[in-house]
Amino acid sequence: MKQTISATRIFTGESYLSDYAILIEHDRIVELKPLSQIDTHAESFHFFDGLLCAGFIDLQVNGGGGLLFNDQPQVQTLYTMAEAHRSFGTTSILPTLMSDSPEIMAKAIHAANAVHALKPSQLLGIHIEGPFFNVAKKGIHNEKYLRQLTTDDIEILAKAEGTRLLTLAPEKTAVDLIKQLSELGYQVWAGHSNADADSVNQAIAAGLSGFTHLYNAMSMLSAREPAMLGSALVTDHCWASVIADGHHLHPTSLQIAMRCKPAGKLLLVSDAMSTVGTDGADFQLDGQTIYAVDGVLKNAQGTLAGSAISLLDAVNYVQDALAVEEAEAIRMATMYPAQAMGLTDQLGELKPGYKANIIHISDKKVCHTWIDGQMKKHIEG
């Protein structure tokens, strides 16, 4: 099937175009060309308001549509999560499993493999967040599951397909295992860690390539110990994700990170839980009630428990609270996550040959999305 899509503005990831259209054939972008040169026989969609850009890519999605991946590590759970986030412009997700048992990890990998085989540009693979953490920085993760990474775990992890991200505490993990995971094709990132700078730097030398939810659940910079935060801020080639919801980070802290990290190395994630795409005010996580109050999720003790935002909320937040330019805010949710995961030949920009994962935004709301060239209408616009 051939179709053309146009709007007032098109943002390719590098520049803005006006009076242009995107030509799609089957699941790929074929060409971007002036409206005056468009074949009128192709199915056409023209939007007089708003912006077309690449679909958002969220590397940390714990749940959505009322479901949590940990609770139900099944194929249908992942489809429900993906569709809930699609309504907010996220056309590609990395389903995220929080710290759990080896049995649940194996089930989650099996489910992620199954959906990735069918919808590889929407369900990218899997993010294993824990359980290889430091209990001192466990956050909301259940302490009973926390342990050190072993060769038996690597046998389970090696079965994952597609994009694979693993968050671990470097001080709790042998550097040779980090190297082994990196050689298997995993992106190994640091998080939920109390590591000193030396431990972090040894892990980086072994293949560690990024940091999960910068500032949160990691050792803090001080005068005589750079710790994990210091290493993350000064290691230019490493990526760092941030949860820009106004609760996980003070705006000034986020500004500091944006000034320290080279352009393109700081990216947005939602860390979303089951409430995204629902009206739910609370849910259960490992036997404790998590409450949604004023846009933030916490347990009874006040510990942050993931987030209640979509990636669209984060894109809008950095523009409104930090005056980040629209183009950069979009890149932080599209181009940069694609680069971090090695997907730059197919996702994150609007270019010929790339997957037709596209969103139409008007008044900071998502009106339409395309995944593999298939359109879905969300709201009028």
Consecutive H or E run containing 202: helix 197-206
Q: Is the peptide bond before 170 cis (omega within 30 degrees of 0)?
A: no
Distances from the Cα of 195 to the Cαs of 131, 199, 227, 237, in angstroms?
16, 6, 6, 19
Amino acid in position 54: A
> Of 212, 225, 220, 284, whose CA–CA distance to 58 is shortest?
212
Is-catalytic flag, 19? Answer: no
Backbone φ and ψ for 330, nearest 5 degrees, come out as -65, -45
Read off the tokens for 314: 């984060």
The residues with which 183 forms a beta bridge, in sequence order, are none
Euclidean distance between CA atoms 101 and 348, whole angstroms? 33
**HSE (side-chain half, CA atoms, 13 Å) at 326:** 14
Q: Are 42 and 253 in contact (CB under 8 A)?
A: no
User: Which one of 153, 271, 286, 313 is the catalytic residue?
Assistant: 271
- Residues labelled catalytic: 271
